[in-house]
Chains A and B, each alone.
Chain A
Amino acid sequence: EDQVTQSPEALRLQEGESSSLNCSYTVSGLRGLFWYRQDPGKGPEFLFTLYSAGEEKEKERLKATLTKKESFLHITAPKPEDSATYLCAVQGGATNKLIFGTGTLLAVQP
């Protein structure tokens, strides 16, 4: 059964304190791993897609990496505006469906 587990559930950082969020997955034939950002009361906002182990993508202070079992979202020198819930999802096998994790709630304090 395809499954996505995100850790930690919640993370509190000081502004400028770099850290990483983890997304571990089991899926039959990974077609894509997706990272989304979700602000309170809003819909998920697409950040990255990763397709193959070893792939990396960057956007501002965020960098996503992928291995055969997990993905990391690295946040470098975070700012308070980076505070949000970060969701990970996988698409596997012959399906177009996404399987979502429950997210990591990130709070960055000034």
Chain B
Amino acid sequence: NAGVTQTPKFRVLKTGQSMTLLCAQDMNHEYMYWYRQDPGMGLRLIHYSVGEGTTAKGEVPDGYNVSRLKKQNFLLGLESAAPSQTSVYFCASSYSGARRYSEQFFGPGTRLTVL
């Protein structure tokens, strides 16, 4: 099993450009998440999904959109990139949100720089 994979691994954008980050998981997990990690800030939740076709806002959703058209994929879009979105982005998945099945498994990350 590959677990959670993310593409691309690195990307440099100019302000105002758009892009989509792809996350895929092969563990048949229902829940998927997008986080950003910044120095001194810890991991912060951007958006999440509790199942195919559903999405919800996390702690820092502004400037991002997501889609979950297939159970195994979760896409994160930036419509008009800003320098404040320079960060490392992690995707994660979990079997459920129930008490004993909610540990999240993370992908390797995408390092995004917005100039």
Contacts and interface: CB of A to CB of B under 8 A. Distances in A.
By secondary structure, the B interface counts as loop
Nearest to B90: A43
A49 interface: yes
A45 interface: yes
Determine the interface band of chain B, counting residues with CB < 8 A from chain A. 20 to 34
Contacts of B107: 43
User: Which of B4, B40, B103 counts the most A-chain CB atoms under 10 A from its CB?
Assistant: B103
A4 to B, nearest CB: 8
A46 to B, nearest CB: 5
B45 A102 contact: no
Interface size class for chain A? 20 to 34
Given A31-B99, A51-B99, A96-B31, A46 B104 contact: yes
B97 interface: yes
- What are the 9 A-B residue pairs with the smallest beta carbon separation, nearest first? A96-B97, A43-B106, A100-B43, A102-B42, A100-B42, A44-B106, A43-B108, A43-B109, A31-B99
Interface of B: 4, 31, 40-45, 48, 50, 58-59, 90, 92, 94, 96-97, 99-100, 102-109
